[in-house]
Chains A and B, each alone.
Chain A
């Protein structure tokens, strides 16, 4: 008898149209648990490092974790893992909503997709029965139409649909996967990989959710959360206006990335702030399974652009990347851009990032009217923003160049363009400023997926000015020394190292960081208690941390063998240039302080001076088998 999970992995070979079920025992699930850890296991076991993301040999692993779908706030998420077209390395990406629980209700813990279908298909998983269905008639449709058509032809609007739009079909390198139109596997270009496999969607339904070991305890933890979340300022803000609240604070404190990261102060911040958005176009609130916070805001407008609330509304990241990065302060243009990204299936962060890069190139004469087909790529133009999104999704004109992502576009443009390209490993920067919160320099530089703001706790959770009740919630990890956000010394490296592993636990359990300590209600011991109550295992924080570490080390070994060596841990040149204007004027990272922190981190993480995991570290985590990858990588 298993609790919280089935022990069943669904395997699908799209080339051969073969479907089979693989069973994994308790020790496997206790060792990998789910999310990116389980995904990395399957990628490392089945894919040769260096395989192109769009090759049929790349695989996609969709899964939640052993606790996904248990009725506790934050336990709703699921992930996809595979090779990213942007980085060429392994990457995972998580999304919230209801799909993760629905997959378990359909009878499986994970779906592993391999091969490439010769024609468009979608996968229907219905209460344990699995069918590869024709999607020829759906191909070319946007994400909303795709969901509608799958609902209609199966005569069931309760089927949970995860799929791609035209951008994924057209293999735009930063195409995302959209779940129920409002939840996104945004980062890493997994939507393009799905497109390369001719897989339009995975639709799931069923009634087979596994039993929980201690139902009463699970309910008690859920009740405690529901009773406390409004006492936590962060979750209160999320409840009231969602992540968009971040715009005002980030701009006020000089940290809102503006004009392709030239400054942290955006004169148009008020117009695109969460407060303005709620007042002018806010429509309703939604959220994820079993979560009372309901942080997702939908927006609606009829003029000057029709914006449908079906596709949700812009989060903080989307307002910043499509707004302040590009200098566009027209709220309606930014909200429409967000809707287009969601319909076509484009990651808003990378989309805004690559467009801001192109605008910077244009303003510096590196792209000309001839290159752009006459489009004037000036910072601040909402019309250009919307035109470019259309062109990128269809790979038309200048859109074809930008659809490869910032890194490849900069290589094609050549010259000084690399100096304006803001990415790590090929993944565009999310909207948090490493020159202000310096632990993010290590996070962006070394996280396996590239520039990842969800890879570790941010500095302001542990500064001398941070309220004591928040700082103290990190003590169970062994972090008790508050540090300035501007510090990148040895103690900050430790802060990053420990919280990086903690966030890797969250990625392996597929839990939502908006519910977790230190800033949000669910404490670390409560998380451990919840895993115990769902699975019946005698779990500890130590054991969970080892799962998190396992995920990171598997991904690092894979990436090293895929050619992502230490040179790929470099920061983009702009991070060494001082911020301009406002309270953060002059803040920069020095190459020396970053190099010193990076080398110390390598050593702390059990890597050699070139950033390659040592054999002893792999042994300590029972990952000796990963060494076998070397032979397969040639």
Chain B
């Protein structure tokens, strides 16, 4: 199956805009990160996205929050981004 992967800042150096990944049927987010690491070893996907085998960033699947074990389906859009909370300097 094929999924579309996007990286928002500060992970945008992981791909130019977005990348398409082919995965085994039933693969989850962890499998996707493993595959990204193999495909782009120089991008250090695991270091940037995981810590102690856990996700350290937010992952959105079709715009909904997911986790390492979220199963992916053909055509899914997966986005990695930081946890945005709130705030500005214009108080």
Contacts and interface: CB of A to CB of B under 8 A. Distances in A.
Q: Do A and B come from one complex?
A: yes
Interface size, A (range): 35 or more
A318 interface: yes
Given A233-B10, A460-B58, A470 B91 contact: no
Contacts of B86: 432, 437, 453-454, 458
A515 B44 CA distance: 26
Contacts of B8: 245, 248-249, 252
Interface stretch (A43-51, A60-68, A90-98, A165-173): A90-98
A117 interface: no
A274 B63 CA distance: 20
A233 B82 contact: yes
B83 A466 contact: yes
B67 interface: yes
Interface string A269-306: 00000110000000000000000000110000000000
Nearest to B50: A467
A446 to B, nearest CB: 16
A348 interface: yes
B10 A236 contact: yes
Interface in B32-89: 51, 54-60, 63-67, 79, 81-89
A185 B66 CA distance: 38
Interface size class of B (residues with CB under 8 A): 20 to 34
Contact of A461 (B56, B83, B91): B83
B85 A461 contact: yes
A610 interface: no
A315 B83 contact: no
Most buried by B among A250, A349, A519: A519
Contacts of A184: 89-91
Contacts of B82: 233-234, 236-237
B51 to A, nearest CB: 6
A472 to B, nearest CB: 10
Given A233-B57, A466-B58, A460 B91 contact: no
A469 B10 CA distance: 18
A70 to B, nearest CB: 20
A583 interface: yes
A185 B79 CA distance: 35
B10 A237 contact: yes
B79 A252 contact: yes
B88 A458 contact: no
A95 B91 CA distance: 6
Interface string A432-447: 1000010000000000
Given A241-B9, A252-B79, A461-B85, A467 B56 contact: yes
Contacts of A274: 9
Contacts of B55: 467-468
A467 B54 contact: yes
B77 to A, nearest CB: 10
A232 to B, nearest CB: 8
Contact of B90 (A275, A348, A460): A348
Contacts of B11: 233
A317 B63 contact: no
Contacts of B79: 252
A469 B66 contact: no
A186 interface: yes
Contacts of B51: 467, 469
A41 interface: no
9 contacts: A186-B91, A234-B83, A237-B9, A315-B90, A454-B91, A458-B86, A467-B55, A467-B58, A513-B87
Interface of B: 8-11, 51, 54-60, 63-67, 79, 81-91
Given A95-B91, A240-B10, A454-B91, 4 more contacts: A234-B83, A236-B10, A347-B90, A458-B85
